[in-house]
Amino acid sequence: MIMPKEDRIIVKGMHTPIIDEETFNIVQDMIKSRTGVRTKSYDWLLKGIVTCKECGKKLSLVPQKHPHKTTFYLRCNTYACNTQLHLCTPHSNNLEKVTNFVIEQIRNRCKEFLNEEKYSKLADKSKEKIMKDKFNVKNEILILEKKVRDINKRIDKLYEDKYKGLFEDEDFTRIYTKQIEARKDATERINQLKELEQKEDSSVDINKLVKDFVNMKDITRTMLVSLVDKIEISESKEITIYYKFNILNMRSVDNELKNAG
């Protein structure tokens, strides 16, 4: 049975405390002084890819709460961390307006790409080249793996011949060292090619990515980052979109966003 709190009798000093009373009171005062609230983390479409043109740092999100809604603004991280040093400017931009503007510009660029035959041909050539390169990589790996197996057989035979007394120590060392170096070079090249082979190459189907972006009503972050490398916003609100594909970067996409503040 648990005694009600109001019926309990508390007698101080009956047990040796873990910490002294003065330390306890200091800690309690420190806890009471923590009036800061943890900042909420927000997920947003342009997160991580929108940067300040002047300093190169990422732009972060700043919520402004109003009676009936919360409006989000972009702000330069350099300015936010070192406001008093004037290392950069706020770059304050309304997130919703910037996002809508960016999506509109990307859609327009994708439509241009689909309507211009030369870009489609370049994309097809790029796809063919990538497939050919992948085939060449696989083929080179197979050749090098056979070479390593042959080297291992030669090394085994070398030991057998030395055991039979067919080699002097100096000759054995010279031939053995040469084979070991050849195996090392081949193995390193195989590892390089396998890393290259494992790298994801989204440019294999540029046409599909572009068509999906044009046709989809609601753009997801996955779709956005599959096409866009980064987005720069200048102090004068000029927005520059850098695509992951050179074919899409062949035409300037610099634009000025009016009244985004």
When comparing pLDDT for 72 and 13, which is higher?
Answer: 72
Give residue for tokens 């085939």: 135
Q: Which band of pLDDT confidence, cut at 50, 70 and 90, is reported for residue 198?
A: low
- pLDDT tens per residue across span 114-161: 876 555 566 666 666 666 777 788 888 899 999 999 999 999 999 888
Global pTM reads 0.51
Candidates 77, 82, 83; CA nearest to 62 is 77
- pLDDT tens per residue across span 55-90: 888 888 888 888 888 899 998 888 878 777 778 888
Long-range contacts of 106-111 (CB under 8 A, 24+ apart): 106/213, 106/224, 106/227, 106/228, 106/241, 107/213, 107/214, 109/241, 109/243, 109/248, 109/251, 109/253, 110/210, 110/211, 110/213, 110/214, 110/227, 110/248, 111/214
Long-range contacts of 26-31 (CB under 8 A, 24+ apart): none
Cβ atoms of 74 and 50 closer than 8 Å: yes
Q: How far is CA 197 from the centre of its chain?
A: 19
- pLDDT tens per residue across span 206-222: 778 888 898 888 898 88
